[in-house]
Chains A and B, each alone.
Chain A
Amino acid sequence: MEEIIELKINEFENYLGFSIKKQSIPLELNQPHDEHLFYNLSIKFYDKKDELNKTIKKTKEILNLLIKTKQNKHIIETYYSLLGNLYYINAQFNNAAGCFMKCLTINKNDITSWIELLFTLRCMGKFKLFEKGIFNFEKIYKIWQNDSENTFNQKKFLEIIKQINF
């Protein structure tokens, strides 16, 4: 099974033309978020609706296989991030938000997922939530990092935002 997964990923990366990598960047590193994957996908899929829809389908297939075969968390997170980016490019912002929330459930220590989630909210027209998040970025990151719960969802997000004096 491992070999089949590896083969499918290799085929998929060949089709995309670049490798699917996501660097986890904790806040404490004091670095900008990882824009590479989103940048490469934007270049490849801007204004290419059909190709984008096919790629979303392929990504979902691989992601399901990764979950089913209980692959390591980082690769599952990377594929959720990839799927979220693709949905974002396809202007399916609800789906994109869902993917970035999954990423935050899997990994509490990555600023990129937070930033991608916040911009998704902006694209949905939720400007107040976006601003609360972006102007209190360090705070929301730390609240979630220290939260005893493990599932990040819409309810949790609103709960975190409520804790901020703005």
Chain B
Amino acid sequence: MDNIIPNLITNYKPKKFGKEYVNINGSSQYPMFISTALGIKPSFDDWVDVKHYKKFVKMCKNYNLFVDPDVIFQKPKSNKNALIGGNTLTTTYAIGKKYNPKIKNGKVHVFISKSKKTLLEAKKFGWYPVATKSRCINKPFIDHLRFGKKLGFPSCCINFFKKYNNWNIYSHPFETFKKTPKNNQKITGSYLCNNFLMDNTFFLIHHLPCSYRCKKTMNYAKSVEENIKKVEPDFIKKTKQLLKKPLLVFSERNFIIFDGKLSNNSLKYTNYQYLTNPGRPEETIGFFNSIKNGNKIEFKYNKLLIKKNDKITSLITKKNTWFMINFE
């Protein structure tokens, strides 16, 4: 029987700033909204239920933000592999429809900025490979890099992405982990560079950093933290707590966050939450139940040991790109 424990990651209800945003769109992208509204981030993109689109535009106007619609994303009915180019999708899989206020279901992909010019520049490079009839069409790779620049990502991280965001060859988070400097033979990330919770409410950055101690990312995230703290201190308190929890990472957007303590390749835990990549269900691990039933994980050579009260309950062959990490 499954243990019944509360999720570590919940929604956030703002006390002061951006209440209206969360009321319309939920809290999953809340930090991006605040960062853009406060002028720290030049622009961001988001998805808004078509039914609430007009209300959303009006709400943004109250925060001096411009909104421009891209296309409507609808839930697909078939497997992505049935589409031409479907196997090249990495994170998002949706049916695309031209924006039309008469369409009654789906989410409008929108670009948001304080500057109309910045917003249009972001939109130019911000196409997602939605399914248009029978095929998914990727934008030219250079546009991923340009889009990152328009969203305010650090140049070192864009260059790192350029090299390692090839899902067929690399695990981007593992490459980032390897590049993170060691201290006393240990790799510990800074919570300021913890991007794992992006799209899950409690994050400060929404890009893939080039190291979990990237200086430019840390400076940017610090500025986000300090500015949000002035308008929504409770949010920062909760975010910092979550960003400092240890993780077991399998691949991009595919990891477990723990309430626990990681030391020397051994992680003792009392609570956990598994976050998977909906765009790549094939990467979901099959032994999460074993983790749920245990209270300790160890890496030994190429094995992942799951223990309950120090007794081995499962032995899994570990991929060399899996890693455990602490953030401070």
B141 touches A32 (CB 8 A): no
A32 engages B138 (CB within 8 Å): yes
A12 at the interface (CB under 8 A from B): no
Q: Please pick, from B85, B96, B138, B145, the residue contacting A46 in the complex, using a CB distance under 8 A.
A: B145
Interface of chain A residues 109 through 133 with chain B (CB within 8 A): 115-116, 119, 122-125, 127, 131
Q: Which of A38, A47, A127 interacts with B140 by CB under 8 Å?
A: A38
Majority secondary structure, B binding face: mixed
Q: Return B131 CB to nearest CB of chain A, in Å.
A: 11
- In Å, the complex CA distance between A46 and B125 comes to 14
Name which of B120, B127, B141 has the most chain A CB atoms within 10 A of its CB: B141
Q: Which of A3-11, A72-80, A134-142, A154-162 contacts B (4 or more CB under 8 A)?
A: A134-142
- Residues of chain A contacted by B97 (CB below 8 angstroms): 135
Contact residue among B124, B133, B137, B142 (Cβ-Cβ distance under 8 Å from A42): B142
B311 at the interface (CB under 8 A from A): no
Shortest C-beta distance, B16 to chain A (Å), equals 36
Partner of B133, one of A119, A124, A137, A166: A137
Complex partner residue of A137 from B98, B125, B135, B163, CB under 8 angstroms: B135
Quick check: A89 and B142 within 8 Å, CB to CB? yes
Distance in angstroms from A110 CB to nearest chain B CB is 14
Q: How large is the interface on B (under 10, 10 to 19, 20 to 34, 35 or more residues)?
A: 20 to 34
Q: Which residues of B contact A47 (CB under 8 A)?
A: 155, 159
> Is A35 in contact with chain B by the CB < 8 A criterion?
yes
Q: How far is the CB of A23 from chain B (nearest CB, A)?
A: 15
Is the CB of A163 closer than 8 A to any CB of chain B? Answer: no
Tell whether A33 pairs with B141 under 8 Å between CB atoms, given A43-B162, A125-B120, A131-B98. Answer: no
Q: List 13 A-B contacts (CB under 8 A).
A: A30-B134, A32-B85, A32-B135, A32-B136, A32-B138, A38-B140, A46-B159, A46-B162, A115-B137, A122-B127, A124-B124, A131-B98, A137-B133
Which 7 A-B pairs have CB atoms at the shortest separation, nearest pair first?
A32-B85, A42-B142, A42-B141, A39-B141, A38-B140, A123-B124, A131-B98
Query: A interface vs B, CB < 8 Å?
Result: 30-33, 35, 38-39, 41-43, 46-47, 85, 88-89, 115-116, 119, 122-125, 127, 131, 134-135, 137-138, 166
